[in-house]
Amino acid sequence: MNQKISNDTELLELEKYIEELETNGLTILPPDVTGVAPELVDRAASALLNRFTELTGCPISLAQGPLKALEWPDGGRARFVAAENAPDPTQALIQQLLQIDRSFRDLAVNPKVDFLVDHMMGPQTRGQGSARRLSSANSFIKWRGEFGYGPDLGLHPDQGANPLPWGDTALTANVTWALTDYTHEAGALAYVPGSHKRNSWPTPGAAEEAVAAEAPRGSAIVFHGATWHGAFPKQTPGLRLNAVAYYRHISVLPQENLRVTMADQPWEDCDNPELMRELLGFDDPFPYSEQGFPLPRVAS
């Protein structure tokens, strides 16, 4: 895997995807563009299935999904399903992927994806390097279920916690790595093309405008934090599996306190330790934990 975007040929290769990002608020990079090998996808998928079984006690397979009946703790189902009479959720969220396996760290520093995220967020104030940082790395493991998020498809903008107006700069960016084929019937991500330009939450009837982000296994689905998105219900057997590298503008609060949670983890064990260090924010001046600004002393 290349460590950086190093020549004009690579830049020209990405022009199409930059244009799609600016026009639609979402683009899909296939594996032959990202350079991600099938072996890396296999490793990430296997790590997620093992982690699911470790946390739930339930064996699970790509072909069949969970192999035992599941029940949710009090309040657990409400995180996915708002309607009281809706069936139980048919998905689970696995968090803190960067700690689980190197494959997720390698995905987070993919140079082609990093270039697009950097393009959406731009430089810091006064040009002090790139503004993009990691916010979290999670996985939505999804199996067959007719309801999904309901008729509104769960449409939302990821940067919705930030006050309006947002402007053109992405305050967050989502890179969803498809670890299985993404199709409409298999519960693909749903999004409204061009919605990132509306600078608002979804309006009534937005689900009627939604289309599926269909992508082959190993693709990177990259989208702006203001893009309205959700997911279609999964109507096919087996799992829809992903690894979501979620990025933030340096001015935005992260979902996971990565400077703390990754400090004693093998964060250097990845394709680009220098970039990972930057994405984790280890050298950022904020938030500070001690007096770091120099002070004068009484002259001797």
Mean pLDDT of 185-212: 97
**Domain-embedded: residue 160:** yes
**Domain-embedded: residue 26:** yes
Report the percentage of the chain scoring pLDDT > 90. 80
**Domain-embedded: residue 289:** no
Q: Is the pLDDT of residue 99 over 70?
A: yes
pLDDT in tens, 33-89: 999 999 999 999 999 999 999 999 999 999 999 999 998 887 777 777 767 777 888
| Confidence label for 96 from pLDDT (cuts 50, 70 and 90) | very high
Q: Is the pLDDT of residue 128 over 90?
A: no
**Domain-embedded: residue 287:** no
**Domain-embedded: residue 72:** yes
Mean pLDDT of 197-213: 96
Q: Is the pLDDT of residue 164 over 90?
A: yes
pLDDT value at position 112?
95
pLDDT value at position 2?
37
Pick 82 or 266 by higher pLDDT. 266
Report, in angstroms and rounded to the nearest whole number, the Rg of the chain calculated over CA atoms.
20
| Confidence label for 110 from pLDDT (cuts 50, 70 and 90) | very high
pLDDT value at position 286?
86
**Domain-embedded: residue 197:** yes
pTM of the model: 0.93
pLDDT value at position 4?
56
pLDDT value at position 196?
97
CA distance linking residue 269 with residue 205, whole number of Å:
46
**Domain-embedded: residue 106:** yes
| Confidence label for 7 from pLDDT (cuts 50, 70 and 90) | low
Q: Is the pLDDT of residue 6 over 60?
A: no
| Confidence label for 3 from pLDDT (cuts 50, 70 and 90) | very low
DSSP-derived letter for residue 128 is -
Instruction: State the residue range of the domain holding 62.
Output: 12-280
Show Cβ contacts of residue 181 under 8 Å, excluding neighbours closer than 6 positions. 215, 216, 217
Q: Is the pLDDT of residue 5 over 70?
A: no
State the average pLDDT for the chain.
92
Report the percentage of the chain scoring pLDDT > 70. 95
Total domain count, the chain: 1
**Domain-embedded: residue 288:** no
CATH number of the domain that residue 96 is part of: 2.60.120.620
